[in-house]
């Protein structure tokens, strides 16, 4: 098989998964990261984060000898293709992206770059960054060294990172030359043989592709959540409404789940960075539209806190609340900008005694004095006057409301992700509340039919 020598700078969710996927395809891969602990774990084949299927892929790569990790950038020596996968978080106190890790990586990498190396950006960046990167690399490398920058955005979702890397929906190759495109095609020859659609484009369009996808997705969730607000006001049912919308082939059923809104390390910051960059480019309508998307999203968290407070008779102080979920989404242990954690923290801040259970993210909460963590759903719910389902874990959707009903003090649940079967829970004696349905639920006529 055709094998390329590759380096990957930055081994977070994106970089580590990408590096392991490249090794699976037969390439020789050096992962470089500034975090010695992370490098130590990865080198021993131990996954530093929860990601289904990643541990096996990592172990396979390390055992094959094709996948190594180091804190020393000199380890990239001999590689022809270098992927930049470092984080680009939100700036402190501003909406734009903080590119300091990207520039630091390039400064460190430049002296190691061989003649005609290809530097491929994968991180999410403001449009125009690739051109600046090319200028900077030209400055840092000898004249006529021939290093070229390309952009190859990734679209992987946490919780599906392995699947999204090995079987992506599409490959975007942003290149300024045919030679760069040919080299990227060699890196991805396995995916091309599998028929994954490829779009070759310029650097700017490739840079925009990732942020634009996240802008579309974030907007879609906020639209659904506005529909949920209207449903609630009109005593309609957002669950049935999204079912109907999803059957329209132009809309489709995916990414239509209402609830406490989006969070995580990508959607919120990419939305703001896109809006900020659009403003710099003189496109003010982006801020108008996307500011509203962001506001609706934040409001859903507040509305959940308001609903919980109301269900505690407006007196949350000292009341026992079970929060099921802390991760920003299911199948992930990531708590960055987590709506679940935001709701739990807000209730604790007004004096509620909040016990949190999350199948994977609980370990990240140790040391917090405002929240108690519990290893099981039952212990989190023991004596609770209010139960909140805040992350869409499958095991929460499958909970037995009869059994759980015997441990709580009051059978009152807020379904923050619309994952519970309200008929089942109501039959077990629970009062079920959710954003996006008339309250109380079920409406009188539905109750008659269900009964």
CA dist., res. 148 & res. 182, Å (int): 13
Q: Which residues pair with 97 in a beta bridge?
A: 90
Binding mask 200-239 for ligand UDX (x = CB under 6 A): -------------xx--x---x------------------
Contact 425, 449 (CB under 8 A): no
Task: Please list, residue by residue across 182-219, b when 16 or more beta carbons sit within 10 angstroms of its beta carbon and e when fewer do.
Answer: ebbbebbbbbeeeeeeeebeebeebbbbbbebbbebbb
φ, ψ of residue 46 in degrees (nearest 5): -105, 125
> At its nearest, how many Å lie between ligand UDX and the CB of residue 114?
30
Q: Which stretch binds ligand UDX (CB under 6 A): 48-56, 143-151, 152-160, 344-352?
A: 152-160
> At its nearest, how many Å lie between ligand UDX and the CB of residue 389?
12
φ, ψ of residue 8 in degrees (nearest 5): -130, 115
* 264/422 with CB nearer ligand UDX: 264
Q: Which stretch binds ligand UDX (CB under 6 A): 72-80, 105-113, 151-159, 349-357?
A: 151-159
Structure tokens at 196: 């994954």
Q: Which stretch binds ligand UDX (CB under 6 A): 73-81, 155-163, 394-402, 422-430?
A: 155-163
Q: Nearest Cα to 204, choosing from 153, 170, 240, 265? A: 153
> At its nearest, how many Å lie between ligand UDX and the CB of residue 10?
14
Query: What residues from 251 to 280 belong to the interface with ligand UDX (CB under 6 A)?
Result: 255-257, 259, 261-264, 266-267
# of chain residues touching ligand UDX (CB under 6 A): 20
CA dist., res. 196 & res. 21, Å (int): 15
**DSSP helix/strand/coil, 166:** helix
> At its nearest, how many Å lie between ligand UDX and the CB of residue 13?
8
List 85, 231, 266, 381, catalytic entry:
266
> At its nearest, how many Å lie between ligand UDX and the CB of residue 441?
20
Contact 261, 223 (CB under 8 A): no
> At its nearest, how many Å lie between ligand UDX and the CB of residue 266?
3
Contact 16, 54 (CB under 8 A): yes
CA dist., res. 327 & res. 424, Å (int): 25
CA 82 to chain CA centroid, Å, is 24
* 225/426 with CB nearer ligand UDX: 225
CA dist., res. 373 & res. 354, Å (int): 9
Residues shown for the chain = 451
* 172/312 with CB nearer ligand UDX: 172
Query: What residues from 369 to 428 belong to the interface with ligand UDX (CB under 6 A)?
Result: none
* 155/425 with CB nearer ligand UDX: 155
Binding mask 156-195 for ligand UDX (x = CB under 6 A): xxx-------------------------------------
Angle between helices 203-234 and 267-280 (to 10 degrees): 120
Query: What residues from 299 to 328 belong to the interface with ligand UDX (CB under 6 A)?
Result: 328
Three-class secondary structure assignment of 59-78: HHHHHHCCEEEECCHHHHCC
Q: Nearest Cα to 149, choosing from 195, 192, 102? A: 102
* 155/441 with CB nearer ligand UDX: 155
Among 54, 69, 155, 441, binds ligand UDX (CB under 6 A): 155
* 83/430 with CB nearer ligand UDX: 83
> At its nearest, how many Å lie between ligand UDX and the CB of residue 4?
24
Q: Which residues pair with 389 in a beta bridge?
A: 324, 415
* 147/215 with CB nearer ligand UDX: 215
> At its nearest, how many Å lie between ligand UDX and the CB of residue 42?
20
Contact 312, 319 (CB under 8 A): yes
Helix (H), strand (E) at residue 279: helix 267-280
Concerning whether 189 is annotated as a catalytic residue, the answer is no
Burial class (CB in 10 A: 0-12, 13-18, 19+), 251: middle
Q: Which residues pair with 372 in a beta bridge?
A: 355
Q: Which stretch binds ligand UDX (CB under 6 A): 49-57, 233-241, 250-258, 284-292?
A: 250-258
* 292/409 with CB nearer ligand UDX: 292
Structure tokens at 161: 């990172």
* 198/350 with CB nearer ligand UDX: 198
> At its nearest, how many Å lie between ligand UDX and the CB of residue 154?
6
Interface ranges with ligand UDX (CB under 6 A): 155-158, 213-214, 217, 221, 255-257, 259, 261-264, 266-267, 328-329
Q: Give the residue numbers annotated as catalytic, written as ranges.
A: 266
């Amino acid at each position: 098989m055709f094998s390329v020598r590759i380096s990957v700078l930055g081994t977070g969710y994106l970089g580590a998964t990408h590096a392991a996927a490249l090794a699976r395809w037969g390439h020789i891969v050096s992962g470089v990261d500034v975090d010695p602990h992370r490098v130590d774990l990865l080198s021993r084949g131990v996954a530093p984060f929860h990601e289904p299927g990643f541990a096996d892929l990592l172990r396979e790569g390390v055992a094959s000898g094709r996948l190594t990790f180091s804190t020393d950038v000199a380890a990239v020596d001999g590689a022809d293709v270098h992927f930049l996968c470092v984080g680009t978080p939100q700036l402190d106190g501003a909406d734009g992206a903080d590119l300091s890790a990207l520039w630091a990586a390039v400064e460190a990498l430049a002296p190691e770059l061989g003649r005609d190396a290809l530097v491929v950006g994968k991180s999410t960046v403001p449009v125009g960054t690739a051109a600046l990167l090319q200028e900077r690399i030209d400055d840092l490398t000898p004249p006529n060294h021939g290093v070229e920058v390309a952009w190859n955005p990734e679209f992987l979702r946490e919780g599906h990172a392995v699947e999204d890397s090995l079987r992506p929906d599409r490959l975007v190759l942003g290149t300024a030359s045919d030679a760069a495109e040919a080299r990227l095609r060699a890196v991805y020859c396995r995916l091309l043989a599998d028929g994954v659609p490829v779009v070759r484009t310029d650097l700017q369009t490739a840079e925009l592709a990732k942020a634009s996808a996240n802008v579309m997705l974030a907007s879609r969730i906020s639209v659904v959540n506005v529909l949920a607000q209207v449903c609630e006001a009109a005593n309609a049912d957002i669950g049935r409404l999204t079912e109907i919308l999803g059957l329209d082939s132009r809309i489709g059923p995916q990414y239509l789940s209402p609830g406490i809104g989006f969070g995580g390390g990508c959607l919120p910051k990419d939305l703001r960075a896109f809006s900020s960059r659009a403003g710099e480019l003189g496109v003010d309508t982006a801020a108008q539209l996307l500011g509203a998307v962001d506001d609706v999203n934040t409001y859903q968290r507040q509305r959940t806190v308001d609903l919980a407070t109301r269900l505690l008779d407006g007196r949350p102080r000292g009341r026992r609340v079970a929060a099921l979920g802390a991760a920003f989404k299911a199948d992930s242990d990531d708590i960055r900008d987590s709506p679940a954690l935001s709701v739990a923290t807000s209730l604790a801040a007004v004096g509620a005694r909040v016990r949190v259970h999350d199948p994977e993210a609980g370990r990240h909460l140790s040391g917090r004095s405002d929240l108690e963590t519990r290893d099981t759903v039952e212990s989190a719910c023991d004596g609770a006057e209010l139960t909140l389902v805040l992350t869409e874990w499958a095991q929460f959707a499958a909970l037995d409301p009869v059994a759980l009903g015997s441990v709580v003090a009051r059978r009152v649940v807020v379904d923050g992700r619309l994952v519970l079967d309200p008929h089942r829970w109501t039959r077990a004696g629970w009062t079920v509340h959710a954003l996006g349905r008339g309250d109380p639920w079920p409406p009188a006529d539905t109750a008659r039919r269900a009964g």
